[in-house]
Chains A and B, each alone.
Chain A
Amino acid sequence: MRYSLLLQYSEAGGAQVSDEAMAEWQSAFDAYAKSLDAAGVLLSADVLQPTAASTTVTVRGGSLQVQDGPFADTKEQLGGVFLIDVPDLDAALAWAEKCPAAQWGTVEIRPTAVYFSGGQWNQA
């Protein structure tokens, strides 16, 4: 089954992260992604820019609204998405527990319903 590991954490102080802290962060995620990859369960891994770079779009009654900022202005924000393919929730939990972001944020495990691949929608 396909699961998205949604990494939620506070962006507070994100701007003043030191180079050293950034290097540690990168090395932890490097080891994590390589472990997932070596196990053959990683489909994709995206770490997102802060929500300051976010733009939202809505169309209501034919009128387009484009706004700066995220969909929900909450303290914790979506910061990354790891898409993995594992047999069941137990396996997804085992990997989520090892995610570096679980140490300082929250990792939400969300199963895929359907996905588009090979020119068609497929049941997950």
Chain B
Amino acid sequence: MARSSYGRLLAVLAARTGDISAAEDALADAFERALRTWPESGVPDNPEGWLVTVAKNRWLDALKVRRPRVERVEPSLPDLDAIPDKRLELMFVCAHPAIDAAVRTPLMLQVVLGFEASEIGAAYATPTATMAQRLVRAKQRIRDAGIPFAIPSVDDMPARLPAVLEAVYGAYAIDWQVISGTTVRDSLSAEALHLASVLATLLPDPETFGLAALLSLSIARAPARVREGMLVPLESQDAGLWDQALITQGETLLRRAHSFGRIGRFQLEAAIQSVHCARAMSGVTDWVVLRRLYSALLEVAPSLGARVSLAAVVARVEGSRAGLAVLDQLGEPAFQPYWATRAHLLREVGGRDAAQAAYAKAISLTTDSPSRSHLSGMLAELSNERSGQ
């Protein structure tokens, strides 16, 4: 059964009583019965409808035994041909303000995509038992606090949507949080894109399309990001290795985002990635447009990362010293990209001692091996230039 079916079935069951754990148990029972009976009786015409009906019956049985809350369950069977898609409601539940921000992404991975606690734990380098406990607690909270399975009103949407976008983006960003193997990383970024696509389909909005576009365009470059265990900076990447199909998909999504005529963080970030990806066709990078996009991004979603990126872009447009001047305004944060960018720019203006010190600082803050190898390589080059003089 595909991941999209799992989320749909679980959502429709959980939405009835707000009890996700009970819905999971009932669905697991139904799957188990399907495995037993389908090989003999054949797969029903509407397998999803069959599963929902069986799961609901199992659930009603369980409720009778457990506690008298049966009145909340509607007695009618779901329309087998048209199971309503409640996954969007489920995503808003997972990213509800009453749910701890740290558990929102794991919760979505489990209930919308059907990941096991062990798989999610592996991605976060957290033991299965710990992850399972966090997920169970979050589901209890959803049930006990009575978090509604509802799509926020138009008025509430601007306040509620960012948390959902953030949680979906979190599935892509996991690899920056922990030291984990590349296999988990690659599979999860694909799942993040799947989640983002579901979200954009169910809730057309400039930001949902923007997020799906951002993930498509970022993942498209993954094949060129590391060479022989060493990080390859964006500018040096072989554009021929980029996934052209994903770039095309990202561009289509970005156009949908633009068509709303409303700007937002993820749309701008996607537009930035789009400018970088355009090098695959044009052979050049439009730094002036990038500077405009980063300035706009800083208006709507200021972050240290975006400020450092702006400095790097300013350096391309106005020269390295201008880029350094932008960095100078940021103090000296314990932020790896700041020091890596500073080191590159200092090297370009010939400030070798300062560049060496900045490279050393950047390296000391780097825990992932490909980035470290790249920076160590740059530092070694700089030292060689020096001794060669």
Mask, B358-371, CB within 8 Å of A = 1, is: 00110011111100
Given contacts A90-B365, A93-B334, contact A39 B372 (CB under 8 A): yes
Task: Tell me which residues across on chain A come within 8 A of B364, comparing CB atoms.
Answer: 86-88, 90-91, 94
Whether, in the assembled complex, A72 has its beta carbon less than 8 Å from a beta carbon of chain B, the answer is no
Q: Which of A19-27, A49-57, A58-66, A116-124 contacts B (4 or more CB under 8 A)?
A: A19-27
Report whether B179 and A31 are in contact in the complex, using a CB–CB cutoff of 8 Å: yes
Whether, in the assembled complex, B110 has its beta carbon less than 8 Å from a beta carbon of chain A, the answer is no
Report whether B125 and A100 are in contact in the complex, using a CB–CB cutoff of 8 Å: yes
Whether, in the assembled complex, B181 has its beta carbon less than 8 Å from a beta carbon of chain A, the answer is yes
Q: Beyond A31-B180, A94-B336, A98-B178, list 14 extra A-B contacts (CB 8 Å).
A: A20-B128, A25-B127, A28-B127, A31-B179, A32-B125, A32-B179, A39-B366, A87-B360, A88-B364, A94-B367, A97-B367, A98-B367, A100-B125, A103-B130
Complex CA–CA separation, A35 to B229 (angstroms): 13
Whether, in the assembled complex, B115 has its beta carbon less than 8 Å from a beta carbon of chain A, the answer is no
Number of A-B contacts (CB under 8 A): 64
Task: Tell me which residues across on chain A come within 8 A of B125, comparing CB atoms.
Answer: 28, 31-32, 100, 103
Within 62-111 of A, Cβ neighbours of B (below 8 Å) are at 86-88, 90-91, 93-95, 97-98, 100, 103-104
Q: Closest approach, in angstroms, between the C-beta of B337 and any C-beta of chain A? A: 13
Report whether A39 and B334 are in contact in the complex, using a CB–CB cutoff of 8 Å: no
Complex CA–CA separation, A24 to B117 (angstroms): 12
Interface residues of B (CB under 8 A from A): 118, 121-122, 124-130, 178-181, 334, 336, 360-361, 364-369, 372
Complex CA–CA separation, A97 to B368 (angstroms): 12
Q: Closest approach, in angstroms, between the C-beta of A110 and any C-beta of chain B? A: 18
Given contacts A98-B178, A98-B179, contact A38 B367 (CB under 8 A): no
Interface residues of A (CB under 8 A from B): 18, 20-21, 24-25, 28, 31-32, 35, 38-39, 86-88, 90-91, 93-95, 97-98, 100, 103-104
Q: Closest approach, in angstroms, between the C-beta of A27 and any C-beta of chain B? A: 8
Complex CA–CA separation, A96 to B129 (angstroms): 22
A92 (CB) vs chain B CBs: closest residue: B364
Q: Closest approach, in angstroms, between the C-beta of A93 and any C-beta of chain B? A: 7
B365 (CB) vs chain A CBs: closest residue: A94
Report whether B127 and A21 are in contact in the complex, using a CB–CB cutoff of 8 Å: yes
B121 (CB) vs chain A CBs: closest residue: A24
Report whether A39 and B129 are in contact in the complex, using a CB–CB cutoff of 8 Å: no
Complex CA–CA separation, A24 to B128 (angstroms): 8
Complex CA–CA separation, A18 to B127 (angstroms): 11
Task: Tell me which residues across on chain B come within 8 A of A88, comparing CB atoms.
Answer: 364
Complex CA–CA separation, A87 to B179 (angstroms): 21
A13 (CB) vs chain B CBs: closest residue: B129
**Residue of B121, B179, B361, B366 contacting most chain A CB atoms (<10 Å):** B179
Task: Tell me which residues across on chain A come within 8 A of B336, comparing CB atoms.
Answer: 94
20 contacts between A and B (CB under 8 A): A21-B127, A24-B118, A24-B127, A25-B127, A31-B181, A32-B125, A35-B367, A38-B369, A39-B367, A39-B369, A87-B361, A90-B361, A90-B364, A91-B365, A93-B334, A94-B334, A94-B336, A94-B365, A94-B366, A103-B178
